[in-house]
Amino acid sequence: MTEQSIIVRTGTPADVHDMMELARLATEENGLVKPNKIKLLQDIWAALNLERGIVGIIGEPGTVPEAAILLRIDEIQYGDDPCILEKAIYVHPDFRSAKGGRAAKLCDFALDMQKQFDMPLVIGILSNDRTEAKVRLYERKFGHAHGAYWIIGAKTGQWVGEVAPE
């Protein structure tokens, strides 16, 4: 598949089960704490219904997405003005070495949404795996970073194997 043939489509409510599976994979790999399935579903469902958010998906409807980005429109905790907050960007492990630049396409989708909605986009990386490569991609797409995070006392994905609440 060439980079030109990779399309990011807008997710719909019909994608909910496939997105939940992708969310399961993402939280197993990058989750800082045990995921709450109800909270995941609430964020995903609202965005799939274009309620203060949007989901960009690479892949055919009815299959687990090759990659996806979840964007929500919300206020930052100290203000009233809306921003686009990236909640998750994830490429399925089966498609990371495939040609086409799926992560870059999702970044382009986020930039398109920022221009369309004309509000600030807040996007970042929370990962212990290939972080430097992800930072390089984000710097190419978004420019210089405006901050950084440190996690003390935990590591992404460390909760896997613990019993997750239902």
Render pLDDT for 88-127 as a digit per residue (tens, 0 to 9).
999 999 998 888 899 999 999 999 999 999 999 999 877 7
Rounded mean pLDDT, 73-82: 93
Query: By mean pLDDT, which of 9-13, 33-37, 116-120 is the weakest?
Result: 33-37
Residue pLDDT, tens place only, 125-147: 777 777 788 888 888 989 898 88
DSSP code of residue 18: H
Is 140:132 a contact under the CB 8 Å cutoff?
no
pTM: 0.88
Place domain 3-142 in its CATH homologous superfamily.
Gcn5-related N-acetyltransferase (GNAT) (3.40.630.30)
For the chain, give every domain's residue range: 3-142
Q: Residue 49: is it exposed, middle or buried by C-beta count within 10 angstroms (0-12/13-18/19+)? A: middle
Q: What is the DSSP letter of 164?
A: P
Positive or negative, the CA dihedral 157, 161, 165, 166 is positive
CB atoms < 10 A from the CB of 72, how many?
20
3: pLDDT strictly greater than 60: no
